[in-house]
Amino acid sequence: MRAAAAASAFKPRRLPAPCLCRNRFHGRSPLLKDPSPQEMPRYELALILKAMQRPEVAATLKRTVETLMERGAVVRNLENLGERTLPYKISKHNQRHTRGGYFLIDFVSPPAAVSVMLEHLGRDIDVIRSTVLKHQVIKTEECMGIIPVNYEDQLITKKK
């Protein structure tokens, strides 16, 4: 009797059935859970891309943004800071770079996806440098408006 009760208490848990759709990152992935909006911090991705023509830059940025979105991120803004001479020569993927295009991508993402994204960008041959910075949450207080001041009380306290 005890063996039957013990066996029924330790039944293996059933995992959810795998999804048959093409989107692998929609919340059923065990590595990337679907977090609530409060758990998703805001990040900024600073990219330096190698000097390329406009269509190639657009394809690289599209590839990067799609990879972010596949991993559960929501892209808020993409900013082009222009092509500039690098402050020093950077060797990456057996090439020496002296010029590069600077870009900022503002996004909200689960924390687990950030390290995976940096790994992916490290393998991309068009990306010279990538850095992810976490935005600090700044709470702004509402203005209380103009507070009336009783000038008579201030004058009386100064005279004494």
Average pLDDT taken over every residue of the chain: 79
For residue 22, the SS3 value is coil
How far is CA 49 from its chain centroid? 18
Which pLDDT score is estimated for 138? 72
Instruction: For residue 126, give the CATH number of its domain.
Output: 3.30.70.60
Could you list the residue range(s) of the whole structural domain that residue 52 is in?
Answer: 45-136
Q: CA torsion 14→73→58→105, rounded to 10°?
A: -150
Which pLDDT score is estimated for 4? 53
**β-pair partners for 105:** 45, 78
Alpha helix stretches (DSSP H) within 22-145 = 54-70, 111-123
Q: How confident is the model at residue 97 (pLDDT cuts 50, 70, 90)?
A: very high
Between 91 and 29, whose confidence is greater?
91
Q: Is residue 35 part of a domain?
A: no
Which pLDDT score is estimated for 86? 93
DSSP 36-50: -GGG--EEEEEEEEE
Which pLDDT score is estimated for 96? 92
Measured from the Cβ of residue 101, the count of other Cβ atoms closer than 10 Å reads 21
For the cut 70, the answer to whether the pLDDT of residue 36 exceeds it is no
Structural domains counted in the chain: 1
The residue with tokens 């977090």 is 35
pLDDT in tens, 135-148: 877 777 777 777 78
Which pLDDT score is estimated for 85? 93
Amino acid at 75: V
Q: Is residue 81 part of a domain?
A: yes
Q: How confident is the model at residue 3 (pLDDT cuts 50, 70, 90)?
A: low
